[in-house]
Amino acid sequence: MKRSLAILFALILGAVALQAQHLDPDAARYLREDNARAANNIHSYEAVPGPETPAPAGFRPFYISHYGRHGSRSTSGTFYPRIIEALTSAKNVGILTPQGDSLLREVERARDFHDGMDGRLTQRGVREHRDIAERMYARYPGVFAGPVRVRAIGSTSQRCLISMNSFTVALAQKNADMRFYLDTGDKFMDYISNTRDANRLTAGTDQLLADWARGWEVDTVSLMQTLFSSQKAARILIPDAAAFQDDVIRAAEVAEDFDMPENLYRYLPFDAIYRRWSVQNHYLYMHHCNSAEFGRERIPLAQSAIDDIITKADEAIAGGEYAADLRFGHDYPLMAIASYLGIEGVGDRLRFDEVDAHWYGWQNICMGSNLQLVFYRNDAREVLVKFFYNEKECRLRGLKPYQGPYYRWEDFKADPAGYLR
C-alpha cells in the first residue's frame, strides 16, 4: 500500500513538474493581472505611451513615417454556433447552471456583434486609431502645422481602410488646412503586407510547437463543473470537452474587441488560459519575428517595406511635399518590419525556449500596434531619427545612437538590417 501511494505521489509530482516547466512566472503574473492579455494579437490596444526624451539641442521634428496595424476587429465566427448549441441543449434538459446561462447570453451577444462578418473592424478599433492619431498630433503639432500634405496608403483589407479613415479624419479635425493623398491597391501590397512564403520559411516551427506542447494536459473539468450541474449528462452533450473549452477561449479572446464589459475568461481555469496564450505566443514569434531558428530566413521579406520607408524619408529630407507617410496594414508584416530594424523588445532575437520569458504578444502585436519614425533636423541640415513602437521610445539593437534614443539617419541607412546585428 505504501509503495502504491509512493508511486502515485511520484506520478502526481511528475505531472506538476511537466506543467510547471512551461509556466513562466512573470508571464503568468501579467496574465493574472489582466486575463484579456491572453488573446495576444487579438488583444485590444493597450494605450500606455511612454515618456519622451527631449531632442538634442537645435533639432526640431519635421517628418513622420508610420506603419500601423488595423484596430480591433472581429475574428472567424465558427465557434459561436457550437457554443450556443451546446449550452442551449443543456438548458433544455435542465443541467445548465446560472454561470452557464450567463455564458450563453454573453456568447449570443458576441455573435450578434459579429453579425456574420469575419475580420470586420469594430467601433473599438475605430477609436483606437482616432486616439493614436490625436496623440501623434499632440506630440508633434509642428509637423502638422499649416497647409501640409499627408500621404496614407492602406492594405486592400476593409479593416485597414476603415482604420486609415479614422486616423486621417482625426488629423484633419485638428487642422482644416491639412491635405491628404489616400490610396490602396494590389500594387502597394508588396510592401504593406508581404507575407508570401512566410509559412514555408518557418515550417519547422509547427514541429517545434507540437513536440513542446506534447503531454501538456489542461483542466477541462473545472469549466464543465462551472457550466453544468450534471457532468454525466454534459459529457453526453459535449463528448469533446477540450474542443468545447477551446471554443469558449476563442469567444473570450474577441469579446473585448466588441467593447463587451464582461470578462469571459472568468469561466476558465488559469492553466487553460496560460496554455492558449503560450502556444499562440510561440506561434507568433517563431513565424514572424527574429527567432534564432528561423529569423534570418523570415525577416528579409520585410525588405520591400524598409525600402519604402527609406525612399519616402529621403524624399521628405530633400524637400518633398509630404510631412508624414502613413501605412495601414497587418500584424505579421509589422512584426517582421520591427524585427528587421532590430527594435528592442518586439525585434529581439530569441530561441524557442526563451520566448515566453521575454516576448509577450499582447504587448508587442496587439490590435492597433504601430511603428513611428520621427525625423528631426537642425540648422546645419543634419538629420536624426527616433523610433517609437506602440507609442514608446525604443532603441535599435546594436546600432550606436547619436544621443539617447536618437540616431543619425545616415548611420541608420548604412546599416538598417538590425536583425543581422
CA diameter of the chain: 86
Q: CA-to-CA distance for 229 and 151, rounded, in angstroms?
A: 59
Element containing residue 388 per DSSP (H, E): strand 383-389
Same domain, 100 and 69: no
Of 236, 252, 268, the position where a domain reaches its end is 268
Strand residue runs (E) in 162-291: 179-184
Same domain, 130 and 249: no
Beta bridge mates, 388: 372, 393
Give the count of domains, the chain: 2
Of 243, 268, 293, the position where a domain reaches its end is 268
Same domain, 237 and 308: no
Yes or no: say if 350 and 344 are a contact pair by the CB < 8 Å rule: no
Which pLDDT value is given to residue 16? 35
Which pLDDT value is given to residue 70? 98
Same domain, 297 and 186: yes
Q: Is residue 23 part of a domain?
A: no
Which pLDDT value is given to residue 50? 84
Q: Is residue 134 part of a domain?
A: yes
Tell me which residue of 372, 346, 328, 361 sits closest to 70, measured CA to CA: 328
CA distance readout (Å), 74 to 71, 280, 381, 414: 10, 18, 46, 41
Q: CA-to-CA distance for 107 and 77, rounded, in angstroms?
A: 11
Tell me which residue of 152, 158, 79 sits closest to 125, measured CA to CA: 158
Same domain, 53 and 94: no
Contact residues for 56 (Cβ-Cβ < 8 A; gap 6+)? 376, 384, 402, 403, 404, 406
Beta bridge mates, 372: 66, 388
Pull the grid cell for residue 312.
519616402
Q: Is residue 280 part of a domain?
A: yes
Q: Is residue 38 part of a domain?
A: yes
Of 203, 237, 268, the position where a domain reaches its end is 268
Which pLDDT value is given to residue 132? 98
Same domain, 287 and 197: yes
Which pLDDT value is given to residue 58? 98
Tell me 120's DSSP state: P
Same domain, 258 and 387: no
Which pLDDT value is given to residue 20? 46
Same domain, 212 and 86: no
Domain that residue 391 falls in: 32-73+119-217+271-420
Q: Is residue 3 part of a domain?
A: no
Using DSSP's 3-state secondary structure scheme, residue 391 falls into coil
Yes or no: say if 389 and 327 are a contact pair by the CB < 8 Å rule: no
Which pLDDT value is given to residue 215? 82
Same domain, 92 and 197: no
Pairing assessment for the beta strands 392-394 and 179-184 based on DSSP bridges: unpaired
Same domain, 362 and 250: no
Tell me which residue of 122, 130, 155, 103 sits closest to 334, measured CA to CA: 155
Q: Is residue 228 part of a domain?
A: yes
Same domain, 207 and 305: yes
Pairing assessment for the beta strands 322-329 and 392-394 based on DSSP bridges: unpaired
Which pLDDT value is given to residue 22? 72
Which pLDDT value is given to residue 4? 39
What residue ranges of the chain have pLDDT lower than 50? 1-20
174-228, pLDDT tens digit by residue?
Answer: 999 999 999 999 999 999 999 999 999 999 999 999 999 888 888 999 999 999 9
Tell me which residue of 331, 330, 218, 336 sits closest to 279, measured CA to CA: 218
pTM of the model: 0.93
Q: What is the DSSP string of 35-81?
A: GGGGGGGGSPP---PPP-PPPPTT-EEEEEEEEEE--SB----THHH
Same domain, 231 and 262: yes
Q: Is residue 11 part of a domain?
A: no
CATH code, domain with 283? 3.40.50.1240
Q: Is residue 21 part of a domain?
A: no
Pairing assessment for the beta strands 392-394 and 383-389 based on DSSP bridges: antiparallel
